[in-house]
Amino acid sequence: MNDRSTSGARSVSPEVETRTPRADAARNRDQLLAVATRMFASADAEPSMRAIAREAGVGIGTLYRHFPTRESLVDAVYQDHVERLTTGARQLLGQLPPAAAMRRWMDMFGDWIATKNGMLDTLVTMIETGEIAHAQTRAELLTAITAMLDAGHATGEIRSDITAEDIAAALIGIFTVAPRPEREAQAGRLLDLMMDGLRHAAPPA
């Protein structure tokens, strides 16, 4: 008689057995990050961890497995946006003319500023204690802006007397007086006006 099991169950390799839990965990983390980002951007005050888990459709234990503290969640959201801004500049330059890429990037910057508003207290504390390297973040963002400015200088679309620091200061000013999402339309008009000033002036007739 054959000693094989007659249960009909198929053997599953350890690689397959571990792949699904890992994929589920990655999806849960991405969902939590997306929900936290959205809630931070729309909240007047920092939402609770329990509210974020509930909105993401997971248990509070799942949230804490991925983000053991509020600070770890804030750091993940913050770093995710910085990564989007730095890689986004390169991607936009590969898809659009420099001026159009710069304008699109300004909207991304506005999203980042809006997200910071809903986690501001925790973020400020983390910067003060050195848990977030604010100077490094600033340097990375200025590098991204410089890349777009240099591309615009090369094509003649953007004035050559503007620095990355000028752009950053102007953006912070715009989103301070016209915060998103409450005054998004006004922010858009101000950004368009800013871009008009950045474009290389046509020579006089």
Instruction: Pick the last residue of a domain from 31, 53, 68.
Output: 68
Same domain? For 106 and 127 the reply is yes
Same domain? For 85 and 49 the reply is no
Domain assignment present for 3: no
Q: Residue 191: give its domain's CATH number.
A: 1.10.357.10
| SS3 state at 189 | helix
Handedness of CA 28, 29, 34, 36 (dihedral sign): positive
pLDDT tens string, the chain, 205 residues long: the values are 444 444 444 454 444 444 555 778 888 899 999 999 999 888 777 889 999 999 999 999 999 999 999 999 999 999 999 999 999 999 999 999 999 999 999 999 998 888 887 888 888 888 888 888 888 889 999 999 999 999 999 999 999 999 999 999 999 999 989 887 778 899 999 999 999 999 865 443 3
CA 146 – CA 134 distance, rounded (Å): 18
Q: What is the DSSP letter of 162?
A: -
The pLDDT of residue 117 is 79
| SS3 state at 99 | helix
Same domain? For 183 and 193 the reply is yes
CA 19 – CA 13 distance, rounded (Å): 10
User: 52: Cβ–Cβ under 8 A, 6 or more apart, which residues?
Assistant: 32, 35, 36, 39, 63, 73
| Domain range for 199 | 70-205
Domain assignment present for 4: no
Same domain? For 135 and 163 the reply is yes
CA 2 – CA 34 distance, rounded (Å): 53
Tokens in use for 203?
């020579």
Same domain? For 179 and 167 the reply is yes
Same domain? For 168 and 192 the reply is yes
Same domain? For 104 and 151 the reply is yes
Alpha helices by DSSP H, the chain: 14-42, 49-56, 60-66, 70-95, 98-117, 120-128, 134-155, 164-177, 184-198
The pLDDT of residue 24 is 80
CA 198 – CA 10 distance, rounded (Å): 65
Same domain? For 57 and 97 the reply is no
CA 99 – CA 65 distance, rounded (Å): 43
Closest CA to 28 of 58, 64, 52, 51: 58
Is-contact 52 15, C-beta < 8 A?
no
Q: Which pTM value belongs to this model?
A: 0.78
Tokens in use for 158?
């953007």
Q: What is the DSSP letter of 126?
A: H
Q: Residue 30: give its domain's CATH number.
A: 1.10.10
Domain assignment present for 7: no
The pLDDT of residue 20 is 57
Same domain? For 61 and 89 the reply is no
Same domain? For 80 and 171 the reply is yes
Around Cβ 164, how many Cβ atoms within 10 Å?
A: 17
Same domain? For 82 and 53 the reply is no
Domain assignment present for 167: yes
How many domains, in total, are found in the chain?
2
The pLDDT of residue 44 is 73
